[in-house]
Amino acid sequence: MKKTTIFNKQLALPFQFVKLKNKQNFLINNCNKMAISLINELSDIESFKKKYINPVLIVYGPEGSGKTHLAYIFKEKNSAILINKVENQHLVLVKNGKSFILDDFEKQIKINEKIFFHFLNETYSGKGSVLLLSKVPPSKMVCQLPDLASRIRGLISAEIMPPNDEILYSFLVKTLDEKKIYLSDKHCLYVIKRIKRNYKSVLKFVEELDRYSLEINKKISTSHLREVLLFLKRL
């Protein structure tokens, strides 16, 4: 199949987007649909515990794969709190029904493995839930406490992969549409070929293009796109 047939604006329409209150819409695709499905299941904590035992979900994937947007979905669904590390006060809160998000948790568990183990125990016996975000899978996490290592390996997890060209294209079209910016299929393809393969890069590009287009107040050309891309490379 030729690339010119792949990059057709009609393909941007069938993908489903999750509406977020304070963030850009999140694109559901084959790279992240398992993680989205599990986050939706975790909205019903008791049902999740019956199925997976512990109301804790690990989502892992490389930087820019969309973990932060997944965290916002979880936050909106569960009124969750984003924390930098686990402290004693969180043990009581999660037992009483509060939900938490912990980013880079493969690094955080090394700060205090004992308190993190107790935190998971309180989650198991309590009413709250936890979303753990990581760049590496549970199988590659090293713990000194054998019980903690065993507990982590027993948690349900979902991997999210970097988006492919078709998904990036759809995300670009949707994000441009939200900013009321029109680019031809040719221009969208031009951008996709020259941008880093993650959602964050698309968001940065559209943000900068929006600012740039307001300054020039002209129809956007290939040379304008080149200028924006070069500017982002220098950052």
- pLDDT in the model for residue 90: 96
Residues 59 and 107 in one domain: yes
Looking at 126, 141, 159, the residue that finishes a domain is 159
Residues 174 and 68 in one domain: no
Between CA 212 and CA 209 the distance in angstroms is 5
- pLDDT in the model for residue 11: 42
Supply 84's token pair.
Answer: 């930098």
Write out the DSSP string of the chain.
--HHHHS-GGGGSSSEEE--SSSPPEEE-TTTHHHHHHHHHTTSHHHHHHHHSSSEEEEE--TTSSHHHHHHHHHHHHT-EEESS--HHHHHHHHTT--EEESSHHHHTTT-HHHHHHHHHHHHHSS--EEEEESS-GGG---SSHHHHHHHHTSEEEE-PPP-HHHHHHHHHHHHHHTT----HHHHHHHHHHS-SSHHHHHHHHHHHHHHHHHH-S---HHHHHHHHHHHHH-
Looking at 98, 125, 159, the residue that finishes a domain is 159
Residues 35 and 141 in one domain: yes
Residues 97 and 211 in one domain: no
Note the pTM of the prediction, 2 decimals. 0.80
Residues 142 and 213 in one domain: no
**7 within some domain:** yes
Which amino acid type is present at position 179?
Answer: K
Residues 73 and 152 in one domain: yes
Residues 141 and 102 in one domain: yes
The total domain count for the chain is 2
Residues 220 and 175 in one domain: yes
CA 184 vs CA 8, 60, 82, 91, 192: distances in Å: 10, 34, 39, 52, 12
**181 within some domain:** yes
**59 within some domain:** yes
**21 within some domain:** no
**24 within some domain:** no
**Displacement of CA 170 from its chain's centroid (Å):** 16
Residues 188 and 134 in one domain: no
For 53, other C-beta atoms within 10 Å of its C-beta total 12
Range of the domain at 112: 30-159
CATH number at residue 79: 3.40.50.300
Looking at 94, 124, 159, the residue that finishes a domain is 159
What pLDDT tens digit does each residue of the chain (235 aa) get?
344 444 444 444 445 555 555 455 667 788 888 999 999 999 999 999 999 999 999 999 988 888 988 898 999 999 999 998 899 999 999 999 999 999 988 888 888 999 999 999 999 999 999 999 999 999 998 899 999 999 999 999 999 988 888 888 888 988 898 889 999 999 999 999 999 988 889 989 999 999 999 998 889 999 999 999 999 998 7
**147 within some domain:** yes
- pLDDT in the model for residue 87: 93
Bridge partner list, 97: none
- pLDDT in the model for residue 10: 42
- With vertex at residue 118, the alpha carbon angle to CA 113 and CA 121, rounded to the nearest 5 degrees, is 130
Residues 50 and 105 in one domain: yes
Interacting residues of 123 by C-beta distance below 8 A, sequence separation 6+: 54, 55, 56, 94, 95, 129, 130
- pLDDT in the model for residue 12: 43
- pLDDT in the model for residue 170: 85
Between CA 183 and CA 176 the distance in angstroms is 8
Residues 50 and 143 in one domain: yes
CATH number at residue 174: 1.10.8.60
